[in-house]
A and B are shown apart, each in its own frame.
Chain A
Amino acid sequence: MKNNDAVKKFFIYLILALGGIIMIFPFYWMISGSFKTAAEYNSFPPVWIPGNWLNFDNFTKAFEQAPLMKYFLNSCIVTFSSVTINGFITILAAFGFSRLKFKGKEAVFALLVAFMMVPFEMQVITNYQTVARLNLIDTLPVLVIPFTSSIFYTYILKGFFDTVPDSLYYSARIDGASNWKYLWRVMVPIARPSLVTIMLLNAIASWNSFMWVQLVINSDRNRTIPLGIFAFVSDAGSDPKLQLAAATIAVLPMIILFLFARKYIVSGVSRGGIKG
């Protein structure tokens, strides 16, 4: 019996390990590739581990050949604005739908949820026309404005807000808290794991956004990093080592962000202390 379990465990771990390697390998190849010398990169059979992990030549060259720093900064600005503004609006909207009473609430919410079915590609056309008329084409704000609210995140967060017992709300009201105070002092801290999760998802989406950026950004100086790397392939000739270095720079912030947010995402599951 015991032996059987051990065998079972072994195979489970084996499969998980294989899956893990398959997932991680491209990242490893990208990161290691960006530290390789030309000889290492071109050799066959492939060199798995770069000779010098402190060989930053590829990065220096990549930064010389294209304004990667500028792209990176643009991406940071866009992502940060999207995440904060969207987060703020999502919190208010979710609270409204979850807690406030107003006429037609259910109908409006059902309508919004129905809108979720409309694929982004279809919204792009109308969004494009709107921002074009507003004369916002080829500016950074245009990368933020269409994404300042999200039905999906509102839906998720409302779902969480709904699980917070009414008695907490009424307690706070009797303790003298306004809706506003209750939201920020009680609801939001309790919902922090959910909030971190949706903000992280939003950050990743915003950081990786490509189609919309390509559509509305024309000038080099307003490019974000995904577009920048896309252009880099042609701008910088086709040295794959440099491309890998640039790609490494592009994914690094998201990896760091994920590592920081990880403990909140996990604790989102175990939300203790609330009963009934």
Chain B
Amino acid sequence: MQVKIEHLTKRFGDFTAVEDFNMVFDDGKLVALLGPSGCGKSTILNMLSGILPSTSGKIYFDETDVTNVPPQDRGVGLVFQNYALYPHMSVLENIAFPLEIKKVPKEERNKKAEEMARLVHVDQYLHRKPKELSGGQQQRVAIARALIKQPRLLLLDEPLSNLDARLRLEMREEIRRIQLETGVTTVFVTHDQEEAMSISDKIVLMKNGVLQQEAGPQELYDNPANLFVANFLGNPPINNLNGYIKDGYFVLEDESGKIKINNPNVKEGQQVVMGIRAESVAIKDGDHDFEATVKQRYTMGKEELAFLNIGNQTIRVYLSSDYEFKEGETVFVKLRDKGVFLFDKETGVQI
């Protein structure tokens, strides 16, 4: 099912949690709603499920306007951050609950519930109570319960945030598998950029209730609309160099270096921020853009990184192992084309 959101706004008193949000979620896709804490992700999700009434704007499921349809009639499945399993019911009863409400005969609903349990791999725990399950198992039960009535839209609110790092990796693959297997349109809330990048067809990035950018994970990484998006995605985070434009050059703010810009959109004297991905910097002799001093080296897993001082600013870069140098040494750096962006300093918009 396709979901279309038009001018959706939510205010709590005079605080605007979501502002003029427009969006289309395509049928059968997994979309990640990404953004820092408090940016309105849950608010959007709750408006989609019908738990929270919107202040203004419209929500369409396919062609139907569901803005004022109560939650139970929307045909959505929702998984809460804390899973919200019914503590007094067994796994089987929990999964079967939506069908019980629909008065499906016991035998039939138990059969369906067992099927769902198999899909999410909890079929060996059918008679346990939720508190006798691990976090990951509880989450799967919650997903099974959300899926059993064959929702047209599956909503997941930070379903992985209670899990440890390894289980998170495992479960996000699981969610992707289940989503692909069932083909249900899914909206997945997270504040973890890596999670969003790894499993979604599309990422919707929010900040303070305002949409920043919507794009595929790679597109979002390769072509951020603004500085916020660029800073939010990527680990290690993108480097920011402050400077201004002069005679077609980007000049560092302390004037310790400059680099030729072939961007027709820049204006003379414009204050800008250059965003440089850590992997877009090469350290090499000969042809180079900046001189830099090695401040500190460190390793992260199998990767080697270094902090470099360029003038009075610091960037973080990946090192290739075939180039040996010590801390304090001066090196030459060359920027690649890909992964280097210019942003207007005031508006943050990519130039």
Q: Are A167 and B84 in contact (CB under 8 A)?
A: yes
Q: Is the CB of A181 within 8 A of B76?
A: no
Asked if A174 meets B51 with Cβ closer than 8 Å, knowing A165-B84, A167-B80, A190-B87, the reply is: yes
Structural contact, B131 and A272, CB atoms closer than 8 A: yes
Interface: A274 (CB within 8 A): yes
* Cβ–Cβ < 8 Å partners of B302 in chain A: none
Contact for B71 among A167, A168, A170, A271, CB less than 8 A: A170
B82–A175 CB distance below 8 A: no
In this assembly, does A263 line the interface, its C-beta being within 8 Å of a C-beta of chain B? no
Decide yes or no whether A177 CB sits under 8 A from chain B. yes
Q: Whole-angstrom distance between the alpha carbons of A273 and B130 in the complex?
A: 6
Q: Is B101 an interface residue (CB 8 A)?
A: yes
Closest residue to A272 on the B side, CB-wise? B131
Main secondary structure of the interface of A (DSSP, over half): helix
Query: Smallest CB-CB separation from B93: which chain A residue?
Result: A185
Given the known interface contacts A273-B130, A275-B82, the answer about A174 and B72 at a Cβ–Cβ threshold of 8 Å is: yes
Given A171-B84, A190-B88, answer yes or no on A177-B130 (Cβ-Cβ < 8 Å): no
Complex: A16 Cα to B100 Cα, angstroms? 50
Q: Which of B46, B81, B87, B101 contacts A175 (CB 8 A)?
A: B101
State whether the Cβ of B78 lies closer than 8 Å to any Cβ in chain A.
yes
From known contacts A273-B87, A273-B129, infer whether A175 and B98 are also in contact, taking CB-CB under 8 Å.
yes
| B85 close to chain A: CB less than 8 A | yes
In chain B, what residue has the closest Cβ to A164?
B87
Question: A170-B78, A171-B80, A273-B130 are contacts. A177–B72 as well, Cβ < 8 Å?
Answer: yes
Chain A 171-194 interface mask (CB, 8 Å, partner B; 1/0): 111111110010001100110100
Instruction: Give A78 Cβ to nearest chain B Cβ, in Å.
Output: 31
A176 close to B98 (CB less than 8 A): yes
CA of A254 to CA of B76, assembled, Å: 49
Instruction: Return the chain A residue nearest B51 by Cβ.
Output: A170
Q: Which residue of A lies closest to B86 (CB)?
A: A186
Chain A residue nearest in CB terms to B148? A175
At the interface, yes or no: B345 with Cβ under 8 Å from chain A? Answer: no
CB distance from A5 to the nearest CB of B (A): 33
Number of A-B contacts (CB under 8 A): 73
Nearest chain A CB to B70's CB is how many angstroms away? 8
Task: Tell me how far the C-beta of B153 lies from the nearest C-beta in chain A, rounded to whole angstroms.
Answer: 11
Whether, in the assembled complex, A26 has its beta carbon less than 8 Å from a beta carbon of chain B, the answer is no
List the B side residues contacting A178 at CB < 8 Å. 72
Total interface residues on A, CB under 8 Å, equals: 24
**A 265-276 binary contact with B (CB < 8 Å = 1; else 0):** 000000111111
- B152 at interface (Cβ–Cβ under 8 A)? no
Task: For B135, give the chain A residue with the smallest CB separation.
Answer: A275
Closest to B101 in A: A176
Name which residue of chain A comes closest to B131, CB basis.
Answer: A273
Interchain CA distance A216-B50 in the complex, whole Å: 53
Q: When chains A and B are docked, how far (Å) is the Cα of A176 from the Cα of B75? A: 9
Complex alpha-carbon distance, A276 and B84, angstroms: 9
Q: Which residues of the other chain, A, contact B72 by a CB distance below 8 angstroms?
A: 173-178
For residue A190, which residues in chain B have a CB less than 8 angstroms away from its CB? 86-88
- Determine the chain A residues whose CB is within 8 A of the CB of B129 once the complex forms: 273
- Once the chains bind, are B86 and A174 in contact (CB under 8 Å)? no
C-alpha spacing A276/B78, complex, angstroms:
17
Contacts of A272 in B (CB 8 A): 87, 131
Residues of B with C-beta under 8 A to A168: 84, 86
Contact A170 B101 (CB under 8 A): no
Q: Please tell me which one of the listed residues A271, A273, A276 contacts residue B81 in the complex, with CB atoms under 8 A apart.
A: A276
Answer whether A175 and B131 are a contact pair too, CB < 8 Å, given A167-B84, A170-B78, A190-B87: no
Residues of A within 8 A of B102 (CB): 176
- Is the pair A167, B82 in contact by a Cβ cutoff of 8 Å? yes
Tell me the complex Cα distance, A167–B102, Å.
Answer: 20
B87 contacts which chain A residues (CB < 8 A)? 190, 271-274
Q: Nearest Cβ in chain A — how far from B42, in angstroms?
A: 11
Q: Are B84 and A170 in contact, CB atoms less than 8 angstroms apart? A: yes
- Decide if A174 touches B101 in the complex (CB within 8 Å): no
The residue on B at minimum CB distance from A276 is B82
For A192, list chain B residues within 8 Å (CB): 88
Q: Are A175 and B51 in contact (CB under 8 A)?
A: no
Cβ of B71 to closest chain A Cβ, rounded Å: 5
**Contact string against A for B residues 304-334, beta-carbon threshold 8 Å, 1 for contact and 0 otherwise:** 0000000000000000000000000000000
CA distance A158 to B78 in the complex (A): 26
Once bound together, how far apart are the Cα atoms of A226 and B50, in whole Å?
55
Contacts of B145 in A (CB 8 A): 171, 175
Give Cα A181–Cα B49 distance, bound, in whole angstroms: 19
B82 contacts A165, C-beta separation under 8 Å: yes
Nearest 7 A/B pairs, CB to CB: A273-B87, A273-B131, A276-B82, A167-B84, A175-B98, A167-B80, A171-B84
Chain A interface (Cβ < 8 Å from any Cβ of B)? 165, 167-168, 170-178, 181, 185-186, 189-190, 192, 271-276
Sample of 16 further A-B pairs with CB below 8 A, known A171-B84, A190-B87? A168-B86, A170-B78, A170-B84, A171-B78, A172-B97, A173-B70, A174-B71, A174-B72, A175-B97, A175-B101, A175-B149, A177-B101, A190-B88, A192-B88, A271-B87, A273-B131
